[in-house]
Amino acid sequence: MTVTTAAKSADALVSAQLVTVYEAWKQAAAGRMAPKREEIAPAPIKSALPWIWMIDVVGGGHDFRFRIAGDRVIQFLGRRYAGHLLSEFQDQPFFQRMRAILELCVRQKQPFGAGPMRSNLQGKEFLEMEVAVLPLSEDGLSVTGIFGAMDVRPVHGSKVAEGSTQA
């Protein structure tokens, strides 16, 4: 099954939080295709840390391994995925959409955004999300990891269940 996502230039990000993360990534990249993982400094993105994530590229983009995620990402997803391969969840539409934009980032070797769009994660359909998908490169030639962040909020006009959180 082919899943597409409405990817956009990272320059078109709407969320102020994601713009801050993207600007920090550009500074770390310093004109290169992508920074190395260790060049992503937490200080400039301190307020966004609960919403960031990193994924390892496996086999040149044939698969992806979840590395780390901030607390709010884990809360949104409902569990920790660190160490798991994305292919383990290929039957779920949310992860199919994720794979499509990760593969685009690896193929094009450039940063992308997606959204704002309604979440298609089961049980989170009342939320909309925007994501920044930013390549990392250990060799300066290929995308070896992906750094990203997300911003999540209730869909305008939706009724969030009493007592639930935004994520």
**Helices marked H in the chain:** 16-29, 71-77, 93-108
- Give dist(CA 62, CA 87) in Å, integer: 9
**In CATH, what number does 7-23+48-154 get?**
3.30.450.20
Q: Are 133 and 148 in contact (CB under 8 A)?
A: yes
In total, the chain counts a number of residues equal to 167
| Prediction pTM value | 0.89
Residue pLDDT tens, the chain, 167 long: 444 567 898 999 999 999 999 999 999 999 999 999 999 999 999 999 999 999 999 999 999 999 999 999 999 999 999 999 999 999 999 999 999 999 999 999 999 999 999 999 999 999 999 999 999 999 999 999 999 999 999 987 654 433 333 44
Neighbours of 116 (CB within 10 A): 17
Domain edges within the chain: 7-23+48-154
- Give dist(CA 135, CA 65) in Å, integer: 14
